[in-house]
Structure 1
Amino acid sequence: MKRVFILVLDSLGIGYTKDSHLFYDEGSNTLNHIAEFCYKEKANFGRRGSLFIPNLTSLGLGLAAEAASGHFPLGLNKNTKIIANYGYASPISFGKDTISGHWEIAGVPVLYDWHYFKDKKYSFPNKILNEIVNINSLSGYLGNCHSSGTSIISDLGEDHIKTKKPIFYTSSDSVFQIACHEDYFGLDSLYSLCKVSRNIFNKSKYNVARVIARPFSGQNNKNYIRNSMNRKDFSVKPHDITVMKKLLIEKQGQVVGIGKISDIYNNYGITYSVKADGICDIFNKTINEIKIAPNNSIVFANFVDFDSLWGHRRNVAGYARDLEYFDYLLPKILSLIKDNDLLIITSDHGCDPTWIGFNHTRECIPILIYSNRKKNNYLGHSNTFSDIAQTLAYYFNLSDMKYGKNILF
């Protein structure tokens, strides 16, 4: 029986890439800077002392970080016995966003530019905005700027509730985000607005990667809460066949997307999706799917909180705390790995919580592969995240992917 379980620790970069200067990210290093802050006791909020992730360290995370950046993370135990295969990868996709990273992991690097809305104050073109307003019979809109989600909801939430005007905003990623109150605007109305907006962008000259529904609740700016469980990404379909789709076609296999995985791939190559929110919920639902996963299957989970709650908000202590919690839970999955199974722990980009601004950082990612039969090997430096997909193609005996190389067998 052949099964693969992929856990993406969203934004856990391990060192800036050679081309990071093009993104103004030279010097960024998500894991090492978190470890440094913890070691120097600058992250003693809800936790204390050096970063304590012994299970991830035993899988080779610290050594992968050292290989990628030249520095072993401060406070981690370098003498830990390694029980997995470990290495690191650089991206060849043009962007440092979620879709580019995930698609490249699946064997489909994004070798073209998305459209980015670079104007900070008046971000979106009037023609697009007018079309969205007219088709949806809106009285107008709020925002139309760069912002973090928590900030713009705090600033404009009360106006939104009074006027029912949706809040439009973006970031350095290729995204058109719409924030609306679940009760006063309605979740179904928000999803409908996003679908229409997605179709409008699809027909336009603007190659926008994602339209994102950002629902929130609460009565005023002191208690607004973004409801991550009901967030939904309306993405474009991958431009080429992913390793998941190959598994479905060539082996009649099964692919389960947990969290936002299905949205990232626009449900392409996904058998079914499991909604989950938060480290514990995503972890428990991943465990449930591992227990029932059949032959020729992939269970694919994204742990988004590292990125959305801590990386973008530049919260080192929160990031460290959730890394330690994930590490604490990890043995529950390790105990379920059978002889022919592969457990892959990786990331999609960086989001250094010590870095300037609130955007992603251009970084290398770890590739940790745990197997009961093949372990304790240094996998080296992968020149593309797609080495993961090519390795899976070999493992499942699929036709070759266009990009990447087999790094395990």
Structure 2
Amino acid sequence: MKRVFLMILDSFGIGSSVDAGKFNDCGADTFGHIVEQCFLGKANKAREGYLKIPNLQKLGIFQAHNASTGKYPIGYDKKFYNSKIIASYGFASEISSGKDTTSGHWEIAGAPVLDDWYYFEKLNNTFPETLIHEIIKNFKLPGILGNCHASGTEIISKLGEEHIKTKKPILYTSSDSVLQVACHEDIFGLYNLYQLCHIIRSLLNKNKYKIARVIARPFIGMNKLNFQRTGNRVDFSIKPPSVTVMEKLVAEKKGKVIGVGKVSDIYAGVGISKSIKSFGLKELCNTTINEMQLAKNNTIVFTNFVDFDSIWGHRRDVSGYAKGLEFFDSQLYKMIHLVNKEDLLIITADHGCDPTWSGTDHTRENIPILIYSPGRKVKFLGHRTSFSDIGQTIAKYFSLSKMQYGTHMF
């Protein structure tokens, strides 16, 4: 029986990539800086002390980080962190043009983004007037709010009350190729929000704006003191530019791909047999463990653990990120014990989001590749020059036709 359990720790970078200078990210190191801050006692909100991740240790996360950066992070103590490595480990650099979720995930699946995305670069009056006019006209809106670059939580706090009064949706973006729409879940309505995002996605496609995602950002609360985003986020993505390894598994082996969390949204549903929406790290872990227990032959269980990015990375919350890693590690123990002799458990990431870095955007970093399979000899996987090596490895494992991009690791 062959099964792959592919776990994306969203934003879990392990050191700036060779081309990080193009993104002003030289020196970014999500994992390394979290370990350092924990050691220095600067990550003690609701937790304390060293970063406690014994299972990621056993899978080789510190060795992968050392290979990526040429050093161990400050606070790494071999006496504390020493353990027998049970997984193959290495790191990968990205060839896609962006440092965003879509680019990273697509490249992992063997479909890198080699052309540039379109970005809304103006910080204010961000969106083209003709596009705003079409959005307002097609959905019969009284107008829009925002129209700028912003942090999602901050713009909801600033404009949420006006949105409630006027029913005008809040439109904003970031340095990623995204257009985000925040609306009150009850007052504007979830259905209306999704329909609005669907219309915006269609307008962007019609006008040939290569925007990776339109993101519905529902929130609740009645004033800036109690506004909070809910788990009913939906990403309206464009389809990958080439065939993914998930599509090949379904087509060539009649296999199944179980997408947990926002995985299906990222791939616009392409190659996903079953989508399970989950919200929050605890629920994502529980759902993943349940699907691992149910998985049959020729199945991929594919989970995106979004909280590391959306809740702790972007909000520059080192303590929260560290606590999240420690909780995930406690659940990883259960996952490891569900891996059979022929299975592959792959732990990786899609980009960085260093919580010690300036600003609130993603960081261009290498990603870890940790592959646990009880029936395989542990090996150093080295520096992989594309995330697509993961997709190519999965293709070979399932005896699928060769992917266009990437080199297999076994």
- TM-score for the superposition, normalised by structure 2: 0.98
Q: Which residue does 1:59 correspond to in 2?
A: 59
1:271-290 map, 5 Å: 271-290=273-292
Q: Which residue does 1:266 correspond to in 2?
A: 268
- Alignment coverage as a number of residue pairs: 407
Structure 2 residue runs without a partner (length 5+) = none
After TM superposition, give the deviation of residue 376 of structure 1 in Å. Answer: 2.5
| Structure-1 separation of matches of 2:75 and 2:53 | 10
Quick check: 1:26 aligned with 2:26?
A: yes
Q: Which residue does 1:172 correspond to in 2?
A: 175
Q: Which residue does 1:123 correspond to in 2?
A: 126
- Per the alignment, in what secondary structure is the counterpart of residue 350 of structure 1? coil
After TM superposition, give the deviation of residue 277 of structure 1 in Å. Answer: 0.8
What do the CA deviations read for 1:194-229 (whole angstroms, capped 9, x no partner)?
0000000001131111000000001111011101x2
| Structure-1 separation of matches of 2:12 and 2:77 | 19
| Structure-1 separation of matches of 2:25 and 2:84 | 33
Q: Which residue does 2:360 correspond to in 1?
A: 358
- Per the alignment, in what secondary structure is the counterpart of residue 93 of structure 1? coil
After TM superposition, give the deviation of residue 77 of structure 1 in Å. Answer: 5.0
2:207 pairs with one of 204, 209, 213:
204
2:314 pairs with one of 289, 304, 312:
312
| Structure-2 separation of matches of 1:295 and 1:376 | 23
What do the CA deviations read for 1:166-200 (whole angstroms, capped 9, x no partner)?
00000000000000001110000000000000000
Q: Which residue does 2:152 correspond to in 1?
A: 149
Quick check: 1:39 aligned with 2:28?
A: no
| Structure-1 separation of matches of 2:277 and 2:96 | 28
The residue type equivalent to 1:115 in the other structure is Y
Q: Which residue does 1:377 correspond to in 2?
A: 379
| Structure-2 separation of matches of 1:20 and 1:32 | 16
Q: Which residue does 1:332 correspond to in 2?
A: 334
- Per the alignment, in what secondary structure is the counterpart of residue 327 of structure 1? helix
| Structure-1 separation of matches of 2:164 and 2:218 | 12
After TM superposition, give the deviation of residue 233 of structure 1 in Å. Answer: 0.1
Q: Which runs of 4+ in 1 moved over 3 A?
A: 74-78
| Structure-1 separation of matches of 2:162 and 2:98 | 34
- Per the alignment, in what secondary structure is the counterpart of residue 230 of structure 1? coil
- TM-score for the superposition, normalised by structure 1: 0.99
1:108 and 1:240 in contact (8 A); partners too: yes
| Structure-1 separation of matches of 2:303 and 2:349 | 11
Report sequence identity in percent: 59
| Structure-1 separation of matches of 2:347 and 2:397 | 16
Quick check: 1:15 aligned with 2:43?
A: no
After TM superposition, give the deviation of residue 76 of structure 1 in Å. Answer: 4.2
After TM superposition, give the deviation of residue 247 of structure 1 in Å. Answer: 0.2
Q: Which residue does 1:239 correspond to in 2?
A: 241
